[in-house]
Homo-oligomer: A and B are copies of this chain.
Amino acid sequence: MDKVRPPFLEGACPLRLKVSLKLERINQLRYGIIGSGAVGGLYGGLLAHGGHEVHFLLNSDFEHVQRHGLRVDSPKGDFVLESPAIYQNVREMPRCDVVILAMKSTRNHLLGELLPPVISPGGVVLNLQNGLDVEADCVDALTGVDYVGVMGGCCFLCSNKIGPGHIRHLDYGRIIFGAYQASGGNDDGESRRGEIGRQIVADMTTSKIDAKWTDDLAAARWRKLMWNIPFNGLSVVLNASTDAIMGSAPAKALSDRLIREVHAGAAACGVTVDPESIRQTMEHTETMVPYDSSMRLDFLAGRPMEVAAIFANPLAAVARAESSEKSEALGTPATMPSVAMLCQELQFLDSQPRGTSKTSD
């Protein structure tokens, strides 16, 4: 594997890039970023800044990035990609070995149009969306398509898109990813997935991304839900940032209860998460910089919230697990009553008009 940074993304125009890239493809992974916002823009930006071939699908930010580049402010060092390879339509993009899916899962009904044109026959989807079982949406969207399989990844980071083509990375940044259990893809996928997985870790590591492969994606997903469920949810319902929540005795106690329920919900699904992570989640939230969760930003901006992925999917998974134990009908999971209530509150808030809706990558 050639670890020398290829020169093809430094100051060249996208068209010249594509010609020169073909000569180097054998040892290099070609990355496609679907959803170049707080997460996709950051990781794609770091990979491109690290010398890798990255193609960004942009929506409303296209013209701004064409003129001013993609700007990333990060504790790892600020930088601007002057001329990234950007597109307004997946059919203009080259087929990619790793399609990083980082748009909001509220738009997953579009995956049937977005994914098939951009995935290469030897390629994988790396789904970095929040929540649980969001990979299933990719598997569904790629039915009948020749590809290797779907991976999922969890990003533990504080990052916001603060303007067109402008990402502000505030804190943390680890990404943990692995194969989705019902991965989809072709038969010889398993060894190829492992091979690509190792190369993604290597590419990310040389690009200053704290990346780690896991053989237990479900545990990583539930581990992340232990933060997302309490703090995305309460930040919207209580209209508060994390520091206000952690500074209030009742809200802190409620956060702790929600975290414990999510931990128990994972166990009900047969997923083991280190119990120490309960305390760690509270401590990390207490010491991190005041943060507006992605769900709160969506809410305040009048955008749909990821209630299905972050709340309804885990509740459904636990309800299925409880139901198969007791052979009862699906209902509110006994393991996560407070999570179920928070979900209902968010479903209500998500259904109410909140001013002009905005689109975002």
In the complex the two chains form, is B248's CB within 8 Å of A345's CB? no
Known: A338-B337, A341-B338. A349 touches B238 (CB 8 A): yes
- Given the known A-B contacts A238-B349, A240-B352, A352-B244, are A254 and B337 also in contact in the complex, defined by CB atoms under 8 Å? no
- Asked if A278 is at the interface of the complex by the 8 Å CB criterion, the answer is no
Q: Is A253 located at the chain interface by the 8 A CB criterion?
A: yes
Contact of A343 with B250 in the complex, beta carbons under 8 Å: yes
Count A-side interface residues using an 8 Å CB cutoff: 26
Most B CB contacts (10 A, CB to CB) among A234, A245, A253 go to: A253
CB distance from A347 to the nearest CB of B (A): 4
* A205 → B minimal CB distance (Å): 41
Contact A351 B248 (CB under 8 A): yes
Does any Cβ of B come within 8 Å of A237's Cβ?
yes
In the complex formed, the residue of B with least CB distance to A343 is B250
Q: Are A344 and B251 in contact (CB under 8 A)?
A: yes
In the complex, which residue of chain B has the Cβ closest to the Cβ of A253? B344
Q: Roughly how many angstroms separate A113 CA and B338 CA in the complex, as a whole number?
A: 42
A237 in complex: contacting residue of B237, B240, B338, CB < 8 Å: B237
CB of A9 to closest CB in B, whole Å:
47
Q: Which residues of B contact A347 (CB under 8 A)?
A: 248, 250-251
Query: For window 315-352 of chain A, which residues contact chain B by CB distance below 8 Å?
Result: 332, 337-338, 341-345, 347-349, 351-352
Most-contacted residue by chain B among A237, A239, A240, A341 (CB, 10 A):
A341
CA distance A348 to B239 in the complex (A): 10
Q: Which B residues are in CB contact (< 8 Å) with A237?
A: 237-238, 345
Complex CA distance for A238 and B254, rounded to whole angstroms: 17
Q: Which residues on the B side are within 8 Å of A343 (C-beta)?
A: 250
Pairs of residues from A and B, 4 with the lowest C-beta to C-beta distance, nearest first: A250-B344, A250-B347, A251-B348, A254-B344
| Interface CB pairs A-B, < 8 A, 9 | A244-B352, A245-B348, A248-B352, A250-B345, A250-B348, A251-B345, A253-B344, A254-B341, A257-B332
* With A254-B345, A257-B332, A257-B341 already in contact, 19 other A-B pairs whose C-beta atoms are closer than 8 Å: A234-B345, A238-B349, A239-B349, A245-B348, A248-B347, A248-B348, A248-B351, A248-B352, A250-B343, A250-B345, A250-B347, A250-B351, A251-B344, A251-B345, A251-B348, A253-B344, A254-B344, A338-B341, A341-B342
